[in-house]
Structure 1
Amino acid sequence: MVWTEILVPVLGGDNDAALLAIAKALAEPFNAAINVVYASPSPISLFSWAGEGGYGPTDVAVAAMQESADRGQARCRDLLASLDYPKTKFEAVTADDWIGLRTVSRLADVVIWERSVSRGHGFLANAFQQILLDERRPAIIADKPTKADGTIAIAWDGGREASRALRRAVPLLRGATKVVILSVPHAMAHPCDGSRAVDYLADQGIKADAVVLHTQGDAGQAILGGVRDLGADILVAGAFGHPRLQRFIFGGTTQLLLDSGSPAALFLSH
């Protein structure tokens, strides 16, 4: 099992170069293709609010917005051409309902996102949620290229989301120098010390250690403390294991991880 395609949604903005550098660092160990998808809104859709007021889009406004989208796409193509990576693809999709981007994501092994998007900010925030939660495509959230051969921590509670994240991260884990399973017993609905995860990874040819975090505080904070103590480069975690309404009202461990500002990259799977 290897990764063959890394997907990078881009907007033609200032952060696109960093996203491509992250994708290259992840793709190189697998010789995976980097698929860059430029997502732009339809100019007509941005004027949908004007229907009842009688102010429809003018030809000049639509043309100006299309010209801006074309410039953004050209910039992304130039960035990809300068990436110096042999296996790349480029696609452009309109993003009125995210169907185009969602369709492209379905055969990607992992999708690269910037942190602001994962925190609910910016044009791609809804796309992030739909692709992670509805399409169930794993996400990498990072500020800079990560060390694929460094230390990887895994947040483990034995649940469905954590188990899925572990399985999907196996290609990444195989290249790590050190893999550590982190569990917080007091926060779990049933006994779970990480031993089954260690055994599963051993069957995959991956040596992992299990660390039990003893704390009476928040599980998310305990996991973040464990990541800091390890100096982990990547944290693998299941995403949003509770119903969306409950997450909206109470927040959750995933949101804490997204908002933490931890230097470790996040690998999330729902």
Structure 2
Amino acid sequence: MRYANILVSVDFAETAPDRIRLAAGLARRFDAHLTGAAAAAVPARLFAHDLGDAEAQYDRSRNEILQELERAHGIFARCAGEASRTEWRAATERPFVHIIKQGRAADLLVIGRAGLGDLDPDPLGVALGPVLMEAGRPVLVVPPRVADLVGRRIVVAWKDTPEARRAVSGSMPFIRSADQVFVVTTGEGARFDGAQDVARHLDRHGASVTSHLLTTTVSDGEEILRFAREQEADLIVMGAYGHSRLREWAFGGATRDILRSTAICCLMAH
């Protein structure tokens, strides 16, 4: 597989310019088309005794959102820099819905992870959970203050699930060019998850790869992050939400733990 079109979400977060620059760098590296996408929903018409007033308020709200989308277009154009083939897609609908729709014509989606202190709701901000669950594409989650990604040292957090298999498949352009790939398993039954088979498979694709069984007294997500930091990895590849999102929200899970705190880019698939 190769990345022919990379889709990046654009919003007004402080982290957006770095995210766009990272996506533009990947587009240049993989000789891919770069598409910027942003959306915001127009508030529903409020009940009013005067229908004309309600229509006028709706039109004002829509015009304001169109102006905001044009401002987002400007951010994308400035930060995309020298990416030679770019496209802009904007819409007046919920941001995550728009990203999911546009993902039908993309090989990789680039979405930002909010920082722990980012409490201000962005009208263009994309809810990451629904995109991971519904896009049907690999999603590169970019943490704050990361503006480039090489993928020299990659940790594949392996669990023998459809989600992990899709994530590995969707990350092959990175894996083929990495200096080192670490296939790791952790948790109950990890030794039976076939990490060595996956490592041999990646070796056949030309990767320099080793496999590792991690034992831990902390959560699986925390152990994966610890190992990635120890190996100075700049990319983690893993399946997303092997359990339901509700169960992970209530009881925890590797996806939730990593998304809450990672400072390393994560390529995920559901």
TM-score between the two structures when normalised by the length of structure 1: 0.85
Q: What's the CA shift for 1:97?
A: 8.6
- Contact 1:116–1:122 (8 Å) recurs in 2: no
Name the counterpart of 1:102: 100
User: What is residue 250 of structure 2 aligned with on the other side?
Assistant: 249
In the TM superposition, residue 125 of structure 1 has moved relative to its aligned partner by: 6.6
Q: Deviations over 1:24-56 (max 9, x none)?
A: 1222221111101121212xxx135x44x8697
Partner of 1:183: 185
SS in 2 for 1:216: coil
CA gap of 1:94–1:77, structure 2 versus 1, over 3 A, is same
The Cα shift of 1:177 comes to: 1.6
Instruction: Give 1:147 shift.
Output: 2.9
3-state SS of paired residue (1:106): helix
Residues 5 and 32 in structure 1, CA contact (< 8 A), matched pair in contact too: yes
Q: Give the deviation of 1:128 after TM superposition.
A: 3.2
Asked if the contact 2:38–2:95 (Cα under 8 Å) also holds between the matched residues in 1, the reply is: no
Residue 188 of structure 1 and its aligned partner are, at CA, apart by 3.1
Mapped to 2, the partners of 1:129 and 1:55 lie a distance apart of 39
Aligned mates of 2:100, 2:26 — CA distance in 1: 21
| Unaligned 5+ runs, structure 2 | none
Q: Which residue of 2 aligns with 1:47?
A: 44
1:10–1:38: 8 Å Cα contact kept in structure 2?
yes
User: Where in structure 2 are the equivalents of 1:31-46 lying within 5 Å?
Assistant: 31-42=31-42, 46=43
Residues 112-123 of structure 1: pairs in structure 2 closer than 5 A = 112-116=110-114, 123=123
Aligned match of 2:109: 111
Q: Distance in 2 between matches of 1:81 and 1:164?
A: 31
State the partner residue of 1:130: 130
1:74 and 1:181 map into 2 onto residues whose CA distance is 43
Aligned position for 1:264: 264
Give the percent of matched residue pairs that are identical in Structure 1 and Structure 2.
23
Q: Secondary structure at the match of 2:177?
A: coil
Q: Which residue of 2 aligns with 1:72?
A: 68
Question: Could you tell me whether the CA contact under 8 Å between 1:181 and 1:208 is conserved in 2?
Answer: yes
Give the letter aligned to residue 114 of structure 2.
S
Q: Is 1:93 the counterpart of 2:91 in the alignment?
A: yes
2:172 aligned with 1:174, yes or no?
no
Distance 1:55 1:15 in 2: 42
Q: Relative to structure 1, is the Cα distance of residues 243 and 124 closer, same or farther in structure 2, using a 3 angstrom cutoff?
A: farther
- Report the 3-state secondary structure (helix = DSSP H, G, I; strand = E; otherwise coil) of the residue aligned with 2:247: helix
Distance 1:169 1:55, change over 3 A: farther
Residue matched to 1:62? 58
Q: Map 1:3-42 to 2 at 5 A.
A: 3-42=3-42
Secondary structure at the counterpart of residue 256 of structure 1: helix
Evaluate the alpha carbon distance shift between residue 217 and residue 29 of structure 1 in structure 2; reply closer, same or farther with a 3 A threshold. Answer: same
**Which range moved further: 237-246 or 186-195?**
186-195
Give ranges in structure 1 of 5+ residues lacking alignment.
none
C-alpha contact (below 8 Å) 1:16/1:76 kept by paired residues: no
Are the equivalent residues in 2 in contact too, given 1:12–1:75 (CA < 8 A)?
A: no
Q: Which residue of 2 aligns with 1:235?
A: 236
- How much has 1:70 moved relative to structure 2? 2.7
For residues 58-79 of structure 1, what are the alpha-carbon distances to aligned partners after superposition, in whole Å with 9 as ceiling and x for unaligned? Answer: 4554344334323322223323
